[in-house]
Structure 1
Amino acid sequence: IERRMASAGMDFVEPDQMVQFYRKRQRGVVKGTTEWLGLQDSIDQFRDTGATWDMFNTDTGFFPTRVGGKFTTKTTRKKIPGEEFAGKQFLETAEVRHRTGERFNINEYFKANRKKMLGRVTVESSMYDRTFVLKSDGRSIEQALTEAIADLPENIISEPLKSEAIQADKIVPPADHVKEGGLDIIDGALHRRVSDNMVPVDGPSVERVRGLLDLRNAVREVQRTQLTDAPEKDILSARKSLNKTYDKFLKKWGNTNDRSNASAMRGDPDYPLLKALERDTEAGGLEKADIFTKRVISPIKPVLSVETANDALLASLNERGTVDLAKMEQLSGIPQDELVEQLKGQIFQDPEDGWVQADTYLSGNVRKKLEAAQGAAEADPAFKDNVTALEKVQPVDLEAGDIEVRLGVPWVPKEDVQAFIAHLFDDVEVDVNYLDITSDWIVEVPAQASFALDEMVANTQKWGTNRYPGINIVRDTLNAKTPTIRDRVDSKTTVVNEKATQAARDKQNKIREEFKKWIFDDKDRRERLVRVYNDTYNNYRPQVFDGSHLKFEGKVPDKDFKLRPHQAGAVWRIVSSGRNTLLDHVVGSGKTATIITAAMELRRMGIRKKPMIAVPNHLLEQWGADFLALYPGANILVAGEKDFAPENRKLFASKVATGNWDAVIVAHSSFEFIPMSLEFTREMFESQVQALERAIADAVESGQQRRSPTVKQLEKSKLRLQARLKKVENKMKKDATVTFEELGVDHLFVDESQAFKNLFYFSKRTRVAGLGNPDGSFRAFDMFAKTRYMDKITGGTGVTFATGTPITNTIGEMFTIQRYLQTNVLEEAGIHNFDAWASLFGDDVTRIELAIAGGNKFTSKTR
C-alpha cells in the first residue's frame, strides 16, 4: 500500500490515512487531513479512487506538530471501480476580501460555505507576505468536527460489492487507433490498452475522458485531411469541427493543459498532442494553436520522375540519405553506368562503403582512404580516379618544427625512449616497455645498471638529486607524474620537503627540455618520427555539410518555421556523416529544432526505427509541445516520471517496444531507471579485462617474470577494472526490472549533454585541478554504457550529443566527450585513457594561484 501511495505521489499528514483508505471496503468512508497549500494535489490524488463529499478548514493549532501549516480535513468515500467522480469538484480558487480591505484567494468551496471554516478568520504576517489563516474559536478539534460532519449525507455506505479483479470476459481486443497505454471507452467503461488487450481501469470521469478522446479524434482528422491533400472543403470542414469540439470541451472541462485534464489522460501517449493545441500568450494565459486557423502540415509528395542525373542524385539523397543508383535509374530512366559517367567528380565508389557523395569520400581520414584506394586500383583501374582525387586533398605534411614531442607520448617507439635514457646516463642499458592498454611506461633497470647509476653524477646531480635520482625522474615524466619528496616526522606522519621537492621538479623540467632538443637531432630519427606523426594524427580533412537539398517532409511550412542553414547542415551531418555527432550550438541557435528534425529525417529515410531523446527534467513537457508544433503529425511518446515507477516500467517498456514511435522523449533523471543489462555491462568490462590478460600472457611469453614491474602493473589494472565492475553490478542489481536493450532504441539524442560529464577515468596524475573524481557518477557511467551499446548496434553512428557548453571547467572534458562519441577513433590512435590523451594534446602546468580562502594566502596548482 505504501508503495502504491508513493508511486501515485500521495503525501498526507499521516500515511496511515491512505493505508486506511486503500483497505476500506467499497463505499467505505475515511477522513483525511492535508495541507491547505497542497489541497489541489490532494483532490487530484483522491479523484482516481474516491469521491470527496465535504471539506472543513481547521485552525493550525489543532495540529501542534506542524506549526504554521494550514490544514484541511476531507471526508471521502471510496468509489466503486468504474464509478464517476460524484463528489464536489473543489477545483477552482475564488477571491475573498478581509475586513482589513486585503484580498486573498481561497478554494471556491469555502467561499460558498463559510461555516465549513471551523475557526476565526484573521490575517497574519510572515517574513515574506501577509497570509489568510484560521485561528481557534475556542472549540476542540473533536467538538468542531463532530458538529460539522453532522451535515454529511446519510446512507453513503452500502454493502460491500464483489471484488473488481479483472475477469477474462471483461478483456476485449483494442481498436486499431488505440496506442499502447492509450485510453478508450468501451460499453460506457474506461479501458486502457495493455499489449493486445483493452483492460478495464478505475480512474477519472468517463465523460471527461470522452471529451478528451473526441478532441483527439478531431485533431487527427484535421491532420489526415492536410497530410493527404484532401479537397479544400474537407480541410475546412475538419477544421470547423475541431474548433467546435474544442470550444465545447473548454466550456465544460477547461483548458487541455489544466492539471485535471492532464491527470485524466495520465499514461495515454496522445496527451502531448492535446497539450499542443494551446500555446502561451504574452499575458500569461493560453490561446488556440495555429492548427485551429490555418494549415500546419504540407502533404508529402514523393518524387516520381526527374529529367537529369543531378536531380536524380538530389532526390536519392533527400529520400534515402545515400547515393542509390538503382533508385536514381528508376526516377530518371538513365542507365546506372551513364549516371556514374555524368556524375563523375560528384560521386565516388568507396572500396569499402559503395557509392558515396564526393564531399563525404574526400573527407575524414583521407590518408587511410588513399591507402585503400591505391590497393583497390592495383586490382581495378577504375579506382585510379579515386587515387587522383584523394591525393589532391591530403593534408600538408607538418615539419619537425611544427610538431611538439613530449617525453611520454605514446607514438614515440620504446626504442627511442631507451636511446634517450642512454643519452642521459652514459649509455646505461635499461629495458623500456610501453603498455598500450594502460598507457604505462615501464623502465626496468638490471642489477648491473643499477649499481652504475648509483655512482653516476649524471643520475644524482646533473639530471637528478641526492634525494631523487634522475632515472626515477625520467620514469615519473614518462608516466605524467610529478616528483614529491616527503620527510618522516614519526611512524605515522610525513610532511612534504618543499625545498627538495622543488629541486627534483626543476630537474624534471630540465629533462623535458633536453628531450625536445634530442628527439629531432638525428636526421633518420627525425624523418621517421615526422612520418609516423603525420600518418597517425595529421590525417583528417573536415567535411562541410550542406543540407540545402533536404525537403523536411512533414514539417510545418517554411512560412511558419524555416530551418536556418546551419540547422539544415547539422541535420544532414547527423543523417549522412556515418559518425556520432556533437552539436556544439550556443543557446538560441535552435538545438531543439535541429534534433527534432534530425529524428524525423532518420525515420523518414528508414535509417532509424526508434530514436530516443533524453532531455533536462524541467523541459520534458516543453519538448513534447515543441516536437508537435514543428511536426504536428508526429507520433511521439513523452515518458513521465510515473512511467518509471518500479511497478510501471514493464508497461513503459511495452509501450516503447511495441509502438511505431517517431521519437521517445524521456527526462535525464528517468533515463537512468532503464539501465543496460548486466550481461552487456559485464561484456563491456570483460573485454577490457581479457585484453589485460592477453597483455600479461604476452609479457610472460616474452621472458618477463611474474613479479616484473610490467606484469605487476598489468595485474594492478586488471584488479582495478574487476573492482569497478563489482561496484557497478551491486548498483544495477537493486533495480533491474527492465533493460535498455528491450526498448528497441536505435538512435540516442542527448540534450544538454554536459550533465553527464562526470565520467569515470583512469589516470596516474594526482591533484590535477579540473579533472574531478576518478570514480565519476553512476549517471555518467549509465550513459557511457548506453553509448557503447549504440555504437555496437549502429557501427558508431547512433549517438548525438547537444550542448551549448561542451567544456565548462577544463580542456580535459573534451576527452570525456570523445569517449562518449569517438571511442573507435581514440583506439585507432592508440589512446586508451586520459594520460595518453593528455600527453598528446595537453601539458601539465604548475603555477602559484590565490587560495580560494582569499586573503594573502597562495597555493600551488597543477592544471
Structure 2
Amino acid sequence: LLSKKKLPSRTPGPSGPGVREGSFFFDNSRGLMQIIDGEPVTVPVRKGRGAEGVPEKHVRIIRKLIPVRDAVRELLKAQELDRPWKPAQVKLRIAWSSFVRAFGPINTTVVSTSEDAETGEVRETHRRPNLQPFLDDPDCWLVASIEDYDIETNTARPGPIFTERVIAPPAAPIITSASDALAVVLNERGHIDIDHIAELLHENVDDVIGELGDAIYRDPETGSWQTADAYLSGQVRDKLKVAEAAAALDFAYERNVTALQGVQPTDLRPSDITARLGAPWIPAADVVSFVHETMGAEIRIHHMPELASWTVEARQLGWMAAGTSEWGTDRRHAGDLIADALNSRVPQIFDTVKEGHAEKRVLNVVDTEAAKEKLQKIKTAFQTWIWSDPDRTDRLARVYNDRFNNIAPRRFNGDHLQLPGASGAFSLYRHQKRGIWRIVSAGSTYLAHAVGAGKTMTIAAGVMEQRRLGLIAKAMLVVPGHCLAQAAREFLALYPTARILVADETNFSKDKRHRFLSRAATAAWDAIIITHSAFRFIGVPSAFEQQMIRDELELYETLLTKVESDDRVSRKRLERLKEGLRERLEALSTRKDDLLTIGEIGVDQIIVDEAQEFRKLSFATNMSTLKGVDPNGSQRAWDLYAKSRFVETKNPGRALVLASGTPITNTLGEMFSVQRYLGYEALLQRGLHEFDAWASTFGDVTTELELQPNGKYKPVTRFATFVNVPELIAMFRSFADVVMPEDLRQYVKVPTLSTGARQIITAKPSAAFKRYQMVLDARIKAIEERDRPAEPGDDILLSVITDGRHAAIDLRLVDPDNDNEPDNKLNDLIGNAFRIWVETAQSSYVRADGKPFELAGAAQMIFSDLGTISVEKSRGFSAYRWIRDELVRRGVPASEIAFMQDFKKAQAKQRLFGDVRAGKVRFLVGSSDTMGTGVNAQLRLKALHHLDVPWLPSQIEQREGRILRQGNQHDVIDIFAYATEGSMDAQMWQNNERKARFIAAALSGDTSIRRLEDMGEGQANQFAMAKAIASGDPRLMQKAGLEADIARLERLRAAHIDDEHAVRRQIRDAEREIEYSTRRIEEIGQDIERLVPTAKEAFAIDVAGKAFIERKDAGRALMREILTLVQLQQEGESVIASIGGFDLEFSGERFGKDGYRYNTVLMRSGADYEIELPVTVTPLGAIARLEHTLVGFEDEQERCRQRLADAERRLGSYRSRQGGDFAFAGELTEKRRQLAGIEADLASSIDGQDHRAAA
C-alpha cells in the first residue's frame, strides 16, 4: 500500500507530539504521509476501481483521526509535565465531535457470523470500519480508548479524558512513621530497601529495624529483608530449619524462629492422611514389609521416582496359596496385583480366541472382576497395615507432613500501591490491587478471578508496575479474538501513556510478518496484545526445543546408570523413552524456523486471558482406561507450555501469568496441567511431576453404580474420589489468586434466589416413557453384543444417549406420532413460565437515566440445547416451537417470544436485547451456545428455566450468569430445572455434581474437606439435590441416607483409630521409660560404688598425667591443657583429666572454613555428662564445675526410681485400654450390609425386568 519513494529534502517533515514511527500525518502539497523506517513516505490513494492504494474513504477517516490523535497526545503530555491542559481538552472535544458527526463512533463495530460447512462451528468476525484504516498508526488504540463505546447501541460517550485529569504527577508521600516509609519504598522499588527507609526517616538503620519490629524479617539464606507476609508464608517448615541453624550462630535470628514456629501448619493425624499403594512418599521398603507381614512372602521392589515407575519381583507369590488364592487369583497373582496398584493400573485379563484363521484377544469379564476384587482387598489391607505400627506411623506421618503439609498461605495486600502513570479516573478494588501486588512480588500467577472482577485492568497494572520496577522488559498479552479491541482500550484507558502493539492473525500473513517483527522487536513496547489464534504463529526456537529433548535424554542416561542390573523392566522402559526422544530430536533437526520466534520478539513475560482454553496438556499415564482421566492434550496447550518454558530461561519466575474465571472446567487432569504451567518446581520437589505419582497422592479409584441411558445401573470404575484435598488446594493457591463470584457481591448488587437454591420440578414418567426406556435397553444390548466395529448407519451409544435425553423432554422428539402428554416436563415448564408471565405483568422498570419504561412486565429465559428449531426437520417436532405455540394459545402475544438462533447478526442481537429491556419481548428461548454468553438482557429477568441439563458445571454457571448479574432490577429471582423421574436427567445431574464438587473445593480453599465425597454447601449440593429428586426411586433415597450415616460412622471410627494409635504410642513410651529407668538405676549404683570423695582436704585430680591436690593449681593446669588443645584445633576425643574415679574427656571438631568447636564430658556408667568449660572460665570455677557433677548421685538414683514407678503405673493404665472395640462397629457393619443390599438390588436391574425409575 505504501510507496517507498522518498520525499525531496525541501518537503517539510512531520512535527508535533503525535508523530512516531508508523504515524500518519497530512502534508498540504503531498497529501497523506506515513513515517516508514524514520522517513516520511507518501501513501498512494486508490483511483476509481483500481486495486492499488488506500480507498478515498479511508483517507478521509485517517485525516479526521489525525487531529484526534494529536490532541490526545498533546493533552497527555501537558498533564504529565504539569502544564495548562484545559485548552488541549477543548481541542480534543472539537476533533472527536467532528469525527463522530462525519463517521460515527471511533469504535464502531460490525459483527458478522459464518458457519463452518464441515464442523458446523459458528465463528464471529468483528470488523471496525473506522479503526481499520488507522491500524498501522502506533497510536491507533490510544485513540480508540478515549470514548466509552456501547456495542449494543453503536453509540459512544466521551470518556474521562474529556473532563478529568487522567495523568497527574505523583503526590509527595506523607511519612510520619517507619510503616509509612516501608509502604513508600515497597511502592517505589517493589521490595524492602532498609537503607532507603532509614534515609526517608533521617534515622539510622538499627533504629528503623527496631521500629518496624515484626513487620519485617531478614532472610538468613539471602540476607535480604522481607515483609512479614512474604517471610512467614510458603514452605515454612524448611524456612524454620534454616532459621534455627542461623539462630545457633547468631542470636538475632531467634525472632525468626519464634515467628516461624507460630505459623507452622498443624500436623495431620494419621487418620487424616490417605496412604495409597504407589504414593511416592511411601518407601518401597515399607511395601516389602507389608507383603512379608501380610502374605508371608519375600519380594523385591524397585521405585524410580523420576518416572513414577515401580517394578516388582515376586515369583514366590506366583506359586503360594497366599498369592494365587487369598490375595490374588490363578490368572493374576498378588505380586502382579501389587505392581498394578503401585503403577496405578487397572488389571485386565484377556483370553485368546480363534476366529477363522486369525486369533484375537477378548476381555474375560469374570476373571477381570475377580482380579479387581483382590486388588481392592490388597489396597484396603495396606491402608489398615500402614498405620498399625507406632514407629512406622510416626515416621511416615512426619514424612507426609514435611513434604505436603508444609505451606503457610501468603496473604497479599496491595494497599500501598500508588500505580504511577495510571489514570486518576479509575479507582481499583482491593482484590485488583492484591492481584497486582501478587504479580509484582511473586511473579508467575494464576488470576482465578470471576467474571466482572476486572481482570484486564489488573493485568495492565501488573504489566506496567513490573516494567516500572525493571522486572520485565516486554510483555505479551494473549486474549480471545473478540476481546482484542476491548483489552487494548481498557489497557490504554488505565495507562494512557503506555506503549502497546496490537495484532491479530492478519498481522502474520506472509507479506506482513517482517513488518510486524521489526516493529515488535525494535521498539520498547510495554505490551504486545495479540489474539489466541495469532499466538500460534509465533514459534519457539527449534534450538531450544532440541535442548529440552537433550536434557531429557541426559536425565534418562543418568537414570540408566542408577538402575540395578536385575531390574530389566525399568531398563527396557528407559530405552523405549530414549528411542522416542531421539526420533523427536531427529525430526526437529530438519525443521526450519519459518515463524517468528518468541525469542526474536524479545518477550520476557506471557500473560494469557481466558486461559482455560489452554488447559489440556497431554501427559503419560497408566490410568487412561479409567473414566475421569483424559491424558490427550491440545496443540495450543503444548504450544503455550513450550513458549513459557523458553521465556522461563530468560526471566526465571516471571515467565507466565494466566487469568480465567473458570480455571478448572471439567476433569482432574486440568488441575495437574495448571500446576505444570505454574507450579512445576513444587511438583518436582514433592516427586509429583508425573501424573501417576500425583494421582496416587491426591486421587483414588472408586467403583460406583452409575445410571445408564436405559435408566438402569451398572458398576463403573472411575477416578472420581479425591483425597488429601487440602494439601492439593494449598499447592494450587500458592500461585493462584482466587476471586469467587460471591466475593464480588461486596462491590456490585446481584439478585438472590428466592429459595436460596435452584428449584427442581420433576415430572412423573408415563407408561409410554417407561416402554421407550425398554426400547433403549434393547438398543444398548444390541450394541454391546455387536462383534464388529460400528459402520456408517449403525446404531451407536451416543445416539441412544441423545434419544434418551430428547425423550425425557417430550416423547414426540423421538417419535412425532406420539401423543401430547400434558404432565411431561416440557408442559410443566410452559405452565410455570406462563404463571410467572401473568404474576409479573404489572412489574415496572426504569431506564439508566432514571425514567420509567413505558411497558411493564418481567422477562424470562428458557434454556435448552435439545429440541431446538433446527432439529424439527430431522425429528419432526421442536420443543421450541411447542413452547411458543402453547404460550400463544394461553394468551401470550407471539411478538413477546423470541428464539435466539433467529438473531445471528450482532446488530439484530442488540436490537433484540433492547426490546427485552424495553419490555417488548418477555421470553427469550435459546441454547447454551446462542444465549450462554454475550447476552446483556438481565434488566427485567425474573426467572430462568433449564429444560435440559448441560454436560458441564461451567455451562450451567454461564447460563445462570445471565440472570444472576449486576444490572438486574429484581432483588429476588427464581431459577428452575426440570427433570423426568427415572430418565437420563438423573445421570446428567450426577455428572455435573461430580465435576462441581472438585471445582468448588479447589477454588474455595476450604481445608476441612479432606475427601471430596464430603460435599460442602452451595452449587455442588444443588446438583446432588437435583439428582436425588429426579430419581423417583425410593431405594436411591435410602442409599443416600445410608451413605451419609456410614460417612458419619467412618469419621467416628477414624477417631477411635487415632485413640488406638495414641494408646499404643503411650504403651511404647512407657515400656521404653521402664527399660531406661531400670538400666539407669543400676548404672548410677555402679557410679556410687566407684565414687572417690573429693570434698575439702580429700581433693585430688590428675591432669594430663600429673597429680594435683591444690584446686587453684589443678584448675590452671586443666585450663592450660584445654587452651592448648583449642589453639591446636585438636580433633577427636582424648582423656585430659581424672577426678573422683571418673575420666574427663575432651572432644573437638573443625567445621566450615575456619570454624572449631569442642566439649568436655565426664565419663560415667552408661551415660556421659557434659560439663561446660569455656576458655574464659577461671581455674577455681573449672574445678567447682567438676566437683559439682560428683555430688547428688543418690538423689539422681531416687528420681529414676520415681520415674520407673510412674511409667509402670502408666503402662498398666494404657494396657487396660488397649484393643478396645469400636463402640459403633455393629451399627457400621449393619449399615454397610444394608447399603450392599440396596446396591445389589439396584445393580440387578441391569439384567432383570425391574424398570422402576432410578437416579
Q: 2:203 matched to 1:334? A: yes
Closer, same or farther: CA 723–520 of 1 in aligned 2, 3 Å: farther
What SS class does the counterpart of residue 214 from structure 2 fall into? coil
Closer, same or farther: CA 381–210 of 1 in aligned 2, 3 Å: same
Q: Is the 8 A contact 1:182 1:269 kept in 2?
A: yes
Closer, same or farther: CA 242–172 of 1 in aligned 2, 3 Å: closer
Q: Is the 8 A contact 2:630 2:667 kept in 1?
A: no
Aligned residue in 2 for 1:391: 261
- Determine which of 229, 235, 243 is the counterpart of 1:373: 243
Structure 1 range deviating more: 546-555 or 688-697:
546-555
How far apart are the structure 2 equivalents of 1:332 and 1:165?
A: 61
What SS class does the counterpart of residue 287 from structure 1 fall into? strand
Aligned residue in 1 for 2:539: 675
1:569 partner letter:
R
Aligned residue in 1 for 2:342: 478
Closer, same or farther: CA 499–835 of 1 in aligned 2, 3 Å: same
1:572 partner letter:
W
Closer, same or farther: CA 313–584 of 1 in aligned 2, 3 Å: same
| Alpha-carbon shift at residue 601 of structure 1 (Å) | 2.0
Aligned residue in 2 for 1:719: 579
Q: 2:164 matched to 1:295? A: yes
Closer, same or farther: CA 167–765 of 1 in aligned 2, 3 Å: farther
Aligned residue in 2 for 1:580: 444
1:766 partner letter:
S
2:258 partner letter:
T
| Alpha-carbon shift at residue 665 of structure 1 (Å) | 1.0
How far apart are the structure 2 equivalents of 1:408 and 1:236?
A: 71
2:179 partner letter:
N
How far apart are the structure 1 equivalents of 2:673 and 2:25?
A: 47
What SS class does the counterpart of residue 311 from structure 2 fall into? strand
Counting only pairs closer than 5 Å after superposition, residues 1-12 of structure 1 correspond to structure 2 as none
- Determine which of 112, 122, 136 is the counterpart of 1:267: 136
Render the CA deviation track for 1:456-497: whole Å, top value 9, x for unaligned: 100110111111111101111100001111112224322211
Q: Is the 8 A contact 2:62 2:133 kept in 1?
A: yes
- Determine which of 600, 603, 609 is the counterpart of 1:742: 600
2:511 partner letter:
E
Q: 2:381 matched to 1:514? A: yes
Give the greater-gyration-radius structure (CA): 2
Render the CA deviation track for 1:587-621: whole Å, top value 9, x for unaligned: 12222222122222222333222222111111111
- Determine which of 24, 47, 56 is the counterpart of 1:183: 24
TM-score, scaled relative to structure 2: 0.52
When the two chains are superposed, the root-mean-square deviation of aligned CA atoms in Å is 2.8
- Determine which of 69, 75, 78 is the counterpart of 1:216: 69
Render the CA deviation track for 1:764-785: whole Å, top value 9, x for unaligned: 11222343353x2221111001
Q: Is the 8 A contact 1:704 1:711 kept in 2?
A: no
Aligned residue in 2 for 1:227: 80
Q: Is the 8 A contact 1:610 1:744 kept in 2?
A: yes
| Alpha-carbon shift at residue 755 of structure 1 (Å) | 0.2
| Alpha-carbon shift at residue 220 of structure 1 (Å) | 0.8
Aligned residue in 2 for 1:710: 570
How far apart are the structure 2 equivalents of 1:374 and 1:345?
A: 18
Aligned residue in 2 for 1:606: 470
What SS class does the counterpart of residue 572 from structure 2 fall into? helix
How far apart are the structure 2 equivalents of 1:216 and 1:592?
A: 23
Render the CA deviation track for 1:305-325: whole Å, top value 9, x for unaligned: 734221110101111111112
- Residue segments in structure 2 that go unaligned for 5+ positions in a row: 45-52, 109-127, 720-1255
How far apart are the structure 1 equivalents of 2:393 and 2:498?
A: 59
Q: Is the 8 A contact 2:229 2:410 kept in 1?
A: yes
What SS class does the counterpart of residue 749 from structure 1 fall into? strand
What SS class does the counterpart of residue 432 from structure 1 fall into? strand
Aligned residue in 2 for 1:422: 292
| Alpha-carbon shift at residue 214 of structure 1 (Å) | 2.3
1:676 partner letter:
V
Aligned residue in 2 for 1:444: 313
How far apart are the structure 2 equivalents of 1:292 and 1:594?
A: 20
Aligned residue in 2 for 1:20: none
How far apart are the structure 2 equivalents of 1:292 and 1:260?
A: 23
Closer, same or farther: CA 682–841 of 1 in aligned 2, 3 Å: same
How far apart are the structure 1 equivalents of 2:387 and 2:368?
A: 30
Structure 1 range deviating more: 624-633 or 402-411:
624-633
- Residue segments in structure 1 that go unaligned for 5+ positions in a row: 1-47, 49-80, 83-163
What SS class does the counterpart of residue 844 from structure 1 fall into? strand
What SS class does the counterpart of residue 762 from structure 1 fall into? coil
What SS class does the counterpart of residue 67 from structure 2 fall into? helix
How far apart are the structure 2 equivalents of 1:374 and 1:511?
A: 42
Q: 2:91 matched to 1:241? A: yes
How far apart are the structure 1 equivalents of 2:230 and 2:686?
A: 21
Render the CA deviation track for 1:611-660: whole Å, top value 9, x for unaligned: 22111111111111122222233222211332222332232222222223
2:444 partner letter:
N
Q: Is the 8 A contact 2:18 2:70 kept in 1?
A: no
Closer, same or farther: CA 297–726 of 1 in aligned 2, 3 Å: farther
Counting only pairs closer than 5 Å after superposition, residues 294-333 of structure 1 correspond to structure 2 as 294-301=163-170, 303=172, 306-333=175-202
Structure 1 range deviating more: 199-208 or 311-320:
199-208
Closer, same or farther: CA 555–170 of 1 in aligned 2, 3 Å: same
How far apart are the structure 2 equivalents of 1:614 and 1:484?
A: 44
Structure 1 range deviating more: 348-357 or 842-851:
842-851
Aligned residue in 2 for 1:41: none
| Alpha-carbon shift at residue 836 of structure 1 (Å) | 0.7
Q: Is the 8 A contact 2:30 2:42 kept in 1?
A: no
Q: Is the 8 A contact 2:105 2:156 kept in 1?
A: no
Aligned residue in 2 for 1:791: 648
Render the CA deviation track for 1:430-478: whole Å, top value 9, x for unaligned: 3211112210001134xxxx2x433210011011111111110111110
| Alpha-carbon shift at residue 190 of structure 1 (Å) | 4.6
How far apart are the structure 1 equivalents of 2:676 and 2:151?
A: 43
Closer, same or farther: CA 504–216 of 1 in aligned 2, 3 Å: same
What SS class does the counterpart of residue 265 from structure 2 fall into? coil
| Alpha-carbon shift at residue 268 of structure 1 (Å) | 2.2
Q: Is the 8 A contact 1:487 1:495 kept in 2?
A: yes
Closer, same or farther: CA 269–861 of 1 in aligned 2, 3 Å: farther
Closer, same or farther: CA 419–298 of 1 in aligned 2, 3 Å: same
Closer, same or farther: CA 502–169 of 1 in aligned 2, 3 Å: farther
| Alpha-carbon shift at residue 743 of structure 1 (Å) | 1.7
1:763 partner letter:
T
Q: Is the 8 A contact 1:325 1:336 kept in 2?
A: yes
How far apart are the structure 1 equivalents of 2:443 and 2:267?
A: 25
| Alpha-carbon shift at residue 522 of structure 1 (Å) | 2.1
How far apart are the structure 2 equivalents of 1:803 and 1:405?
A: 33
How far apart are the structure 2 equivalents of 1:684 and 1:670?
A: 24
How far apart are the structure 1 equivalents of 2:96 and 2:166?
A: 20
| Alpha-carbon shift at residue 690 of structure 1 (Å) | 1.2
1:188 partner letter:
R
- Determine which of 677, 680, 705 is the counterpart of 1:823: 680
Aligned residue in 1 for 2:615: 757
How far apart are the structure 2 equivalents of 1:291 and 1:768?
A: 56
| Alpha-carbon shift at residue 171 of structure 1 (Å) | 13
Corresponding residue pairs, total: 683
Closer, same or farther: CA 773–621 of 1 in aligned 2, 3 Å: same
Q: 2:689 matched to 1:832? A: yes
How far apart are the structure 2 equivalents of 1:439 and 1:643?
A: 44
Aligned residue in 1 for 2:391: 524
Counting only pairs closer than 5 Å after superposition, residues 622-701 of structure 1 correspond to structure 2 as 622-699=486-563
What SS class does the counterpart of residue 572 from structure 1 fall into? helix
TM-score, scaled relative to structure 1: 0.74
Counting only pairs closer than 5 Å after superposition, residues 112-127 of structure 1 correspond to structure 2 as none
Structure 1 range deviating more: 827-836 or 737-746:
737-746
Q: 2:153 matched to 1:277? A: no
Counting only pairs closer than 5 Å after superposition, residues 728-739 of structure 1 correspond to structure 2 as 733=591, 736-739=594-597
Aligned residue in 2 for 1:494: 361
